[in-house]
Amino acid sequence: MAARFRFALALPLAVLLALVLAPPPAAARVFDPETFTLANGMQVVVITNRRAPIVSHMVWYRVGSADEVQGRSGIAHFLEHLMFKGTREVGPGEFSRIVQRNGAQNNAFTSFDYTGYYENVARDRLEVMMRLEADRMANLSLAENEVLSERDVILEERRQNIDSRPGARLSEQLGAALYLNHPYGRPIIGWLHEMQTLTREDALAWYQRWYAPNNAILIVAGDISAAELRPLAERYYGAIPSRPVPQRLRPQEPPPQAERRVTLRDPRVAQPEFSRAYLAPGRHSPGQEHSYALEVLADILGGGQTARLARTLVMDRELAVGAGAYYDPDAVDTTSFSVRVNARPGVDIAAVETAVEEELARVVRDGVTADEVARSIARMQAAAVLGRDSIPNAARVFGEVLSTGGTVDDVEAWPDRIAAVTADQVNAAARAILRPERSATGLLLPQQQQ
């Protein structure tokens, strides 16, 4: 039930797409899904894959931590945990026991923009999973003692995954520095002092506000067709009444005017780290015409051992042991483009920073070449072949796109759109985004000696 963080703590959707989308001929379909909408407004996507008698059953809600009320950070992730605490029909802890008895794997996740729940299960056990998931969509029951106990769980999760990991703390601080006004600057898991005050009433209010079938997407991938799934979807999910759901109104970023800088020192740091994040357009925010080019730019700069950053900093100059670039285009609002470099032991982090800035400046000044773009696209498409048949990943790709404002056609058209990116487009995107005033820089360093 781990939260998802935008700053290099999880795979951006560009990578997930590269894992599941093969390069078909122009205008070809990728997954060729079937879709329909229930009478209550719930969107349903079916991705048929008959290779094995299994299915991945996922319910995505169009709500995440960026929709939280100021001062109640962490409630989206907290409710994700509490959704396993039972209903009037299913007692506390029984949900997971039923899933296990039916040989399924299940979990959940929270992001800035969505919350998702899934079960991977044999085809003949799908109906059991649908009954359970629909029940907790409509009939969640929370006892006070269960809420308080689970609050201790998420507090401990934060201590283990954030507070005790210097790199995660730097990512958190970098996000807070990059976003001056937008809630993407808050950690998904929440700020500790606000998490400590979350109540049963907060959780139920969040549930009643957002957890409605007309705010949800059902995605089932695997050994099933829409004709086979539809009666089950109508029986279990279609019986849940729709409810009014508020608009996702969020404060937006002011025009960036100054670069920001964060330095975090910790005695546990053995390997200094350099990070830089830039405010960048996503698929649905101003500047969206750069989004596909930014995917290619991220691959050229940091998409493997032969990418520019790794070749220059790791192999040629031996300043670092690892370097990467990250871009997540599928977000409701302005997203980020970031680079991260782990310094080689004994190397001054200032030398690493200078080398990164030189490489980024070279991209902006001289641009990338048509050959680099062609190789990058080929790399992304070759990686796609390896994972196209992954049933859970196929469902996840659709969930991330649809829950952030995209369409089924956006997923199906991705190979053609990425293949159409030109060097001129990549260079225009680099000049527009890799600007100092759009950036926040983070340094992770050992504790200074007293």
Residues marked as catalytic: 80
Q: List, in sequence order, every residue forming a beta bridge with 222; answer none if it has no partner.
A: 48, 55
CA distance 231 to 168: 45
Q: What type of residue sits at position 243?
A: R
Residues 6+ apart with CB under 8 A from 96: 84, 106
Residue with tokens 């209010």: 205
Return the residue matching tokens 């509490």.
82
Whether the CA torsion 411, 417, 423, 426 is positive or negative: it is: negative
For residue 329, give Cα distances in angstroms to 169, 336, 383, 416: 23, 8, 19, 16
Query: Nearest CA to 243 among 138, 140, 332?
Result: 138
Burial of 27 (0-12, 13-18, 19+ CB in 10 A): exposed
Q: Is the dihedral of CA 429, 431, 432, 437 positive or negative?
A: positive
Handedness of CA 16, 19, 24, 30 (dihedral sign): negative
Half-sphere exposure of 165 (CA within 13 A, CB side): 12
Q: What's the rounded Cα separation, in Å, for the pair 366 and 288?
A: 23
CA distance 275 to 278: 10
Q: From CA 60, how far away is CA 264, in angstroms rounded?
A: 35
Give burial (CB, 10 Å; 0-12/13-18/19+) of 306. exposed
